[in-house]
Structure 1
Amino acid sequence: MSFRLRAARNEDIEPLYEMAKLTGGGFTNLPADRDALSFKIERSSKAYARATDGEVRDELFVLVLENTETGQVRGTCQLFTAVGQQWPFYSYRMTTLTQHSQELDRTVRAEMLSLTTDLEGCSEVGGLFLHPGERAGGLGLLLARSRYLFIAMHRARFGDRILAELRGIIDERGGSPFWDGVAGRFFGMSFQEADYFNAIKGNQFIADLMPKHPVYVAMLTETARTAIGVPHPSGRAAMRMLENENFSFEGYVDIFDGGPTMIARTDQVRSVAESREAQISGTDLDGGEKALIAAGELSDFRCVYGTREVAQDGTVAIDAEAARILGVSKDDTVWSVAR
């Protein structure tokens, strides 16, 4: 499979823009706006260029999936090192208020949505999009899990907790039942308008206009209630992948579309915990264990599917195709994790 993950570059803006137009809305981290994408690439380039000093800063890393035979960019994903530093990172958290009346001998439990910035300082994996023409052969898994190898290889750049926001329910007209039932009532703008504004300008307008008191779920429309914490149908597989990596849903939902926010301890993410650094003992392995294999630091990072065989002395043999695409040879160092 001649695909590899690598750092995004300026020349990737146009293919990223073309993919952004295919997302169908509700995809804040990949806006269909060239200026916004240019800003992301510029910010990412600065992060790649900064030497690691052990300090977690507000940085963004953009990766792209490249077909090494054609040079085409066919997917992308992003890593945010510390959310909530540039502007507040808002979520709704689902809570329950229990009240009891002795006169009525009745207990009432009311579910509420409370606006919170609890997740500030977390790292985030997001912005994952795979071109519809490539949604076979496990490339989505390569996109998703390559991010965890990047984190393992640059652990000092990331926080102790990591989150992933899943897109919520979007209806056939491109709107959000959750937005219409909650925030849309206060902002006088459609979900598409708010989503686009957030992608381009940030979410300070939420802080300015969003009511600070809890929202009682029972007072919402049925369509808004049933959307809370439910991923978009296209995100169900992503939710299962996150659960397999030890992420869990802890009651936090997106303030725009109500989609679930999945959270994990960074060092307990399976692909981070199980990844291994090793010196290459050979590059002509025939057979072996299927694995994700990565090499290079920061802007030189690249990751592919391949096969490996770990020896008792800790060295690793990899297959020739993976070595070719990665550009590595005997005695070089790679990181890997079982597929």
Structure 2
Amino acid sequence: MLVMRPARMADLVEVQRLAADSPIGVTSLPDDSERLRDKISVSQASFAAEVSFNGEESYFFVLEEVATRRLVGCSAIVASAGYSEPFYSFRNETFVHASRELKIHNKIHVLSQCHDLTGNSLLTSFYVVPELVGGPWAELNSRARLLFMASHPERFADSVVTEIVGYSDEQGDSPFWDAIGRNFFDLNYAEAERICGLKSRTFLAELMPHYPIYVPLLPDAAQEAMGQVHPRAQVTFDILMREGFETDHYIDIFDGGPTLHAPVSSIRSIAQSRVAPVKLAALDSAQHAPHSRQYLVANAQLQEYRAVLLELDWVPGQPVSLSPEAAQALGVSDGASVRLVAV
């Protein structure tokens, strides 16, 4: 069984193993023990804090194989994007160039650097081992953090964003970075992202162009890369699009990857999740009834938050029948409440 839970300092070595295999561009998951140690420490403090509104908190989760204690994935939520430093994006805009005398009226696509998404909650640090990509466990790794948000709405903003890693080739070169960012820094894309992961994206972003960039003036390869998703990030992009996130309005300022956005009220795992009491079943077979289906199930705790993927024959409005094994994994007993949503 796989269980999502808050990261602990004892997970550091395993987390760094995951970070080392994450694709270029996931700067929120650097392959650096000190940065990861800080990330876990901040997360532990956030889970322990009494919070009444979204602030500087950051919540880091890991996906653990219970039998072996091996970590197979991780993900995180930043309560407020841009709380401690500016959160930069490129906004897709249209400028109109017109001449009444010449009867010319042109709409030109431009990119404008902005802080529009500052203050939104931010989904970050998604990674799942290759053998679990495309399956229901990737859903658990991504969507269970949304169930956490549903149980603790006071800790998060009314809207959520996430930056999806953009296109780069097998050599780690990004056409979008080469067309824009590389003109301001003598760095290739992989090195720029590595520095951002170890330090901060802000100090590089502040030196990027602050005037609108006319997209037709960019090389064809850079234009084609805008809004493209890195193949290894496709799984999280697809999951969140099914959750109701939207794209097209913003892209990442470094690699041109899409920035997804959704109001909390329209996110499927939040809007469609339900709270139900637990009824302990005597037999594990209760989870494999003829009409059963897969559900993401989570408790409503903070530091002891747990989420699992289960086959359940559950009727809305009725108690959820859990096996002793599932109840133990979730840390709940008979009569406790869980939040669940269909996969």
TM beyond 0.5:
yes
- Matches of 1:196 and 1:30 in 2, distance apart? 10
Partner of 2:201: 203
Partner of 1:218: 216
Q: Give the paired residue count.
A: 337
Deviation at 1:17, TM superposition (A): 1.0
Partner of 2:27: 28
- Matches of 2:342 and 2:188 in 1, distance apart? 44
Alignment of structure 1 residues 167-182 onto 2, 5 Å: 167-182=165-180
* Cα 1:93/1:312, change in 2 over 3 Å: closer
User: Which letter maps to 1:281?
Assistant: K
Partner of 1:63: 61
Match of 2:163 among 162, 165, 190: 165
- SS of the residue 2:303 aligns to: helix
Partner of 2:8: 9
User: Which letter maps to 1:331?
Assistant: G
- Matches of 1:75 and 1:238 in 2, distance apart? 12
Partner of 1:92: 90
Match of 2:307 among 303, 311, 316: 303
- Matches of 1:313 and 1:269 in 2, distance apart? 21
- Matches of 1:230 and 1:55 in 2, distance apart? 34
Percent identical: 34
- Matches of 2:111 and 2:125 in 1, distance apart? 25
* Cα 1:225/1:297, change in 2 over 3 Å: same
Tell me whether 134-143 or 226-235 shows the greater mean CA deviation: 134-143
Partner of 1:330: 334
- Matches of 1:115 and 1:102 in 2, distance apart? 30
User: Which letter maps to 1:63?
Assistant: F
Deviation at 1:200, TM superposition (A): 2.0
- SS of the residue 1:78 aligns to: strand
Partner of 2:153: 155
- SS of the residue 1:299 aligns to: coil
Deviation at 1:5, TM superposition (A): 0.3
- SS of the residue 1:298 aligns to: coil
Deviation at 1:337, TM superposition (A): 0.9
**Contact 1:60/1:80 (<8 A) preserved:** yes
* Cα 1:297/1:324, change in 2 over 3 Å: closer
**Contact 2:126/2:236 (<8 A) preserved:** no
Tell me whether 269-278 or 234-243 shows the greater mean CA deviation: 234-243
Deviation at 1:88, TM superposition (A): 0.2
- 1:63-100 deviations in whole A, cap 9, x for unaligned? 00100011101110011110111100000011111122
User: Which letter maps to 2:60?
Assistant: V
**Contact 2:306/2:331 (<8 A) preserved:** no
Aligned-residue RMSD, C-alpha = 1.7
Tell me whether 227-236 or 76-85 shows the greater mean CA deviation: 227-236
- 1:250-280 deviations in whole A, cap 9, x for unaligned? 4200011100001000121000011122211
- Matches of 1:294 and 1:112 in 2, distance apart? 43
- SS of the residue 2:23 aligns to: coil
**Contact 2:229/2:258 (<8 A) preserved:** yes
- Matches of 2:99 and 2:181 in 1, distance apart? 32
**Contact 1:307/1:319 (<8 A) preserved:** no
User: Which letter maps to 1:17?
Assistant: Q
- Matches of 1:316 and 1:261 in 2, distance apart? 36
Deviation at 1:207, TM superposition (A): 4.8
Match of 2:236 among 235, 238, 255: 238
**Contact 1:80/1:125 (<8 A) preserved:** yes
Q: TM-score normalized by structure 2?
A: 0.93
- Matches of 1:39 and 1:313 in 2, distance apart? 42
**Contact 1:306/1:319 (<8 A) preserved:** no
- Matches of 1:189 and 1:5 in 2, distance apart? 37
Deviation at 1:313, TM superposition (A): 5.1
* Cα 1:9/1:236, change in 2 over 3 Å: same
- SS of the residue 2:21 aligns to: coil
**Contact 1:250/1:263 (<8 A) preserved:** no
* Cα 1:13/1:295, change in 2 over 3 Å: same
Deviation at 1:118, TM superposition (A): 0.1
Match of 2:140 among 139, 142, 146: 142
**Contact 2:298/2:306 (<8 A) preserved:** yes
